[in-house]
Amino acid sequence: MVIANVLERVTYDEPTPPERQVWDAFPAGVAVDFRAAPEEDPAEGAVWGPERTVRGEVLRTLLGMGTSPALCI
């Protein structure tokens, strides 16, 4: 069922290394910057590789948990 897939949450064991960086920084409100250099334009992020990619499912899970992502561990 499509709706069930949309509502599934990512658990703490599933994220990739960049996703884990965002997950760990989220409760403290710490920014995570995946740019290789300060002058790199984040608007060009679509061509970045998986080492700088965060899936929407991870962001949706974090946003749905508020400031308590530890609840999904």
Name residues whose C-beta falls within 8 Å of residue 38's C-beta, 6 or more positions apart in sequence. none
Residue 73 lies in a domain: no
Is 27 contained in some domain? yes
- Count of structural domains, the chain: 1
Q: Is residue 64 part of a domain?
A: yes
Answer whether residue 21 is part of any domain: yes
Range of the domain at 56: 2-34+44-68
**Does the predicted model carry a pTM greater than 0.85?**
no
- Specify the pLDDT at position 69: 52
pLDDT at position 60, please?
87
Q: What is the pLDDT of residue 65?
A: 76
Is there a domain that residue 39 lies in?
no
State residue 11's pLDDT score. 77
State pLDDT tens for residues 15-62: 899 999 999 999 899 999 999 899 999 888 888 899 999 998 889 888
The pLDDT value given to residue 17: 93
Label residues 59-72 b or e (16+ Cβ within 10 Å = b): eebbeebeeebeeb
